[in-house]
Amino acid sequence: ASTLAAAAQQKGRYFGTAVAANKLSDSTYTGILNREFDMVTAENEMKMDATEPNQGQFSYGNADRIVNQARGQGKRIRGHALAWHSQQPGWMQRMEGSSLRQAMLNHVTQVATYYRGKIYAWDVVNEAFADGNSGGRRDSNLQRTGNDWIEAAFRAARAADPGAKLCYNDYNTDNWSHAKTQGVYRMVQDFKSRGVPIDCVGFQAHFNSGNPVPSNYHTTLGNFAALGVDVQITELDIEGSGSGQAQQYQGVTQACLSVARCTGITVWGIRDTDSWRASGTPLLFDGSGNKKAAYNSVLAVL
Ligand code: XIL
């Protein structure tokens, strides 16, 4: 196959990208989007601050632009993200306790209901675990509402859109030996054992020289999958250039392909100039939209 999406489909997988609504008028951008990808994540437009800027007033204009463009092209959508400590609207940042818990659950219910039937998988909760060696939860206003806030969010999402896969999504959970990876693993194991509705785990996969692609990535993905969840690479980008970067991209692709329940890979942007990273060249297309060595190395093994 000659595109990422077509090649991934031959392996029973998808290949996605993050999309920004304000770039949909850029014809180079949408040309690559339409040609190469079959799954779309809104880069910011479905986040809590975007969809509920004032409490109880929901705003879906930019998210709908992305959803409609993608669906018009026959692409599927990963929803990102229903509950997160970051990119909360100001009113939510100022809340704590039971009123925050209620507001968070209402947000999950409203947004998942609005998009019911249109979302392949929701990142229900994003980045709830702490970095470092604790293996525990990250402190946040949501965490302080009680340790059960994550399962409450998953139950609300399931009730609102029973057809969507429900994912937990995080970063620095790629290396099997890291405490954070183990902490998330134990939570998913606990959820599965108690019947909390969880279907998938997303690995953001933002890599750089200080946080390289681990050689045990296939082990991590396989161990999570063995808990009875799908796994997905959800926000892939890798700092670097040339053959070194290409090799790392190929390694991530092969790690996903080596795990039957790794259902797809999403890169976090199209061209290097679309990346959220302040500098560097972490994506598969250069600023002019040309395929990089990293692109060819991914396509070669898909
Ligand atoms: C980033 C976006 O790419 C930026 O445009 C925005 O300013 C900040 O958020 N983890 C996530 C994504 O789950 O939502 C983040 O996206 C990148 C890190």
pLDDT at position 267:
99
- In this prediction, residue 278 has a pLDDT band, given cuts at 50, 70 and 90, of confident
CA angle 232, 238, 239 (to 5 degrees): 165
Which tens digit of pLDDT belongs to each residue from 112-134?
999 999 999 999 999 999 999 99
| pLDDT at residue 274 tops 90 | yes
Q: Which residue has the tokens 């925050």?
A: 100
Please choose, from the candidates 282, 231, 236, 237, the residue with its C-alpha nearest in 3D space to the C-alpha of residue 257: 231
Mean pLDDT in residue range 245-271: 98
Mean pLDDT in residue range 250-274: 98
Q: In this structure, what DSSP letter does residue 214 have? A: P
- Mean pLDDT value across the chain: 98
CA angle 9, 258, 121 (to 5 degrees): 55
> Which atom of ligand 1 sits closest to the CA of residue 206?
18
**Cα 232 to middle of ligand 1, angstroms:** 17
- Rounded Cα–Cα distance for residues 81 and 65 (Å): 17
**Ligand 1 pocket check: which of 168, 235, 236, 272 to mutate, most ligand atoms within 8 Å of Cβ?**
235
- Asked if 266 and 234 touch (Cβ cutoff 8 Å), the reply is yes
**Cα 265 to middle of ligand 1, angstroms:** 17
> Which atom of ligand 1 sits closest to the CA of residue 84?
13
Alpha helices in 19-96 (DSSP H): 27-36, 48-51, 61-72, 90-93
Asked if residue 43 has its Cβ within 6 Å of ligand 1, the reply is yes
Asked if residue 85 has its Cβ within 6 Å of ligand 1, the reply is no
Please choose, from the candidates 100, 99, 104, the residue with its C-alpha nearest in 3D space to the C-alpha of residue 124: 104
**Cα 194 to middle of ligand 1, angstroms:** 31
Instruction: Provide the token pair at 114.
Output: 């609005």
161 phi/psi in degrees, rounded to 5? -140, 85
Mean pLDDT in residue range 97-106: 98
The SS3 of residue 126 is: strand
> Which atom of ligand 1 sits closest to the CA of residue 268?
3
| pLDDT at residue 189 tops 90 | yes
Asked if residue 276 has its Cβ within 6 Å of ligand 1, the reply is yes
pLDDT at position 100:
98
* Whether pTM exceeds 0.95: yes
Q: Is 127 a catalytic residue?
A: yes
**Cα 112 to middle of ligand 1, angstroms:** 20
Percent pLDDT > 70 in the chain is 100
pLDDT at position 178:
97
Please choose, from the candidates 247, 254, 263, the residue with its C-alpha nearest in 3D space to the C-alpha of residue 218: 254
- Rounded Cα–Cα distance for residues 278 and 219 (Å): 31
Q: Is 235 a catalytic residue?
A: yes
- CA quadruple 267, 271, 274, 278: dihedral positive or negative? positive
CA dihedral of 196, 198, 199, 203, whole degrees rounded to 10: -150
Which tens digit of pLDDT belongs to each residue from 20-74?
999 999 999 999 999 999 999 999 999 999 999 999 999 999 999 999 999 999 9
Q: ipTM score here?
A: 0.99
**Ligand 1 pocket check: which of 17, 43, 48, 85 to mutate, most ligand atoms within 8 Å of Cβ?**
43
- Rounded Cα–Cα distance for residues 230 and 287 (Å): 33
**Exposure on the CB side of residue 47, measured as CA atoms within 13 A:** 17
pLDDT at position 279:
87
**Cα 94 to middle of ligand 1, angstroms:** 21
Please choose, from the candidates 206, 284, 233, the residue with its C-alpha nearest in 3D space to the C-alpha of residue 39: 233
Cβ-count burial 37-65 (b if 16+ within 10 Å, e if not)? bbbbbbbbbbbbbbbbeeeeeeebebbbb
| Atom 12 (ligand 1) nearest CA | 43
| Atom 7 (ligand 1) nearest CA | 276
CB atoms within 10 A of CB 162: 12
